Amino acid sequence: MKIAMWSGPRNLSTAMMYAFGNRADTQVVDEPFYGAYLHHSNANHPMREEIIASMVCDPAQVSAALAGPVPDGAAIWYQKHMTHHMLEHFSMDLLANLRNVFLIRDPARVIASYARKRAHVTLYDLGFVQQKQIFEHCLALGQEPIVIDSDDVLANPKPALMELCVRLEIAFDPAMLQWVAGPRPQDGIWATHWYDAVHRSTGFGPAPGPVPKLDADYEALWHQAQAIYKQLQAAK
């Protein structure tokens, strides 16, 4: 089985990858379209040139590899994807061969977290628009994509992951709840910039606290993202 987890940044996506990576039956891949996204866009991300040099940057080649054999003959291939990496001219044909899951998070939490890493934040950076587009493409294919909220996972990790496994029709593995602190071999090279918190972790963090209050500068951005978040949340 090939599981694609579609998420925006700052959305528990790396912790979810670590959870699945702790399963004995699963191989994981970290943001395989990142290099292609940077190569084909003007996005000025930290470590841009290093990331491009380290990855396959032809989206067609990336898609072909992701649709191919599962590495090491594993039963499950967990693919961590950032929705904003799928540029408009990238083919979405790959989605037909994947079990697609959408990881969502309250936009106020996403914006507050992202703003601590980058000074300028746009709606495009956060991936909400692209997440909705990919979700609607799955619906057009006749699929029933799964939607999960990161707040639900943090509030009750075990039941949330057990429910996800049921919906994916795979067995729940208790190893998904805890991992060894530190980096993983599967981490992208960008981990040194983005993954400091999850590298200190040994499992999912505490239940989410109050939604952060955003600066007035982010109000319009929040309203745009919130509308999409509510639409996807209704599909849980």
**Residue 42, pLDDT score:** 85
**Residue 116, pLDDT score:** 82
CATH of the domain at 183: 3.40.50.300
Helix (H) or strand (E) holding 157: helix 157-168
Q: Is 235 helix (H, G, I), strand (E, B) or coil?
A: coil
Mean pLDDT of all residues in 218-222: 94
Encode burial over 187-214: b for 16+ CB neighbours within 10 A, e otherwise: bbebbeebbeebbebeebeeebeeeeeb
Report the predicted TM-score, pTM, of the whole model to 2 decimal places.
Answer: 0.95
With CA atoms as reference, report the closest residue to 230 among 125, 95, 84, 108: 108
- Quote the CA–CA distance of 132 and 102 in Å, as a whole number: 9
DSSP 9: S
Mean pLDDT of all residues in 193-214: 93
Domain holding 179, by residue range, is: 2-233
Chain centroid to Cα 162, Å, comes to 19
- Percent pLDDT > 90 in the chain is 89
pLDDT at 92 over 90: yes
pLDDT at 138 over 90: yes
**Residue 117, pLDDT score:** 76
Q: Tens digits of per-residue pLDDT, 19-71?
A: 999 999 999 999 999 999 999 998 988 999 999 999 999 999 999 999 999 99
**Residue 101, pLDDT score:** 98
Query: How many domains would you assign to the chain?
Result: 1
Q: Per 3-state DSSP, what percentage of the chain is helix, strand, and coil (rounded to 5)?
A: 50, 15, 40
With CA atoms as reference, report the closest residue to 66 among 25, 42, 36: 36
Mean pLDDT of all residues in 125-145: 96
Q: Tens digits of per-residue pLDDT, 94-121?
A: 999 999 999 999 999 999 988 887 778 8
| First-residue to last-residue Cα distance in the chain | 22
- Percent pLDDT > 70 in the chain is 100
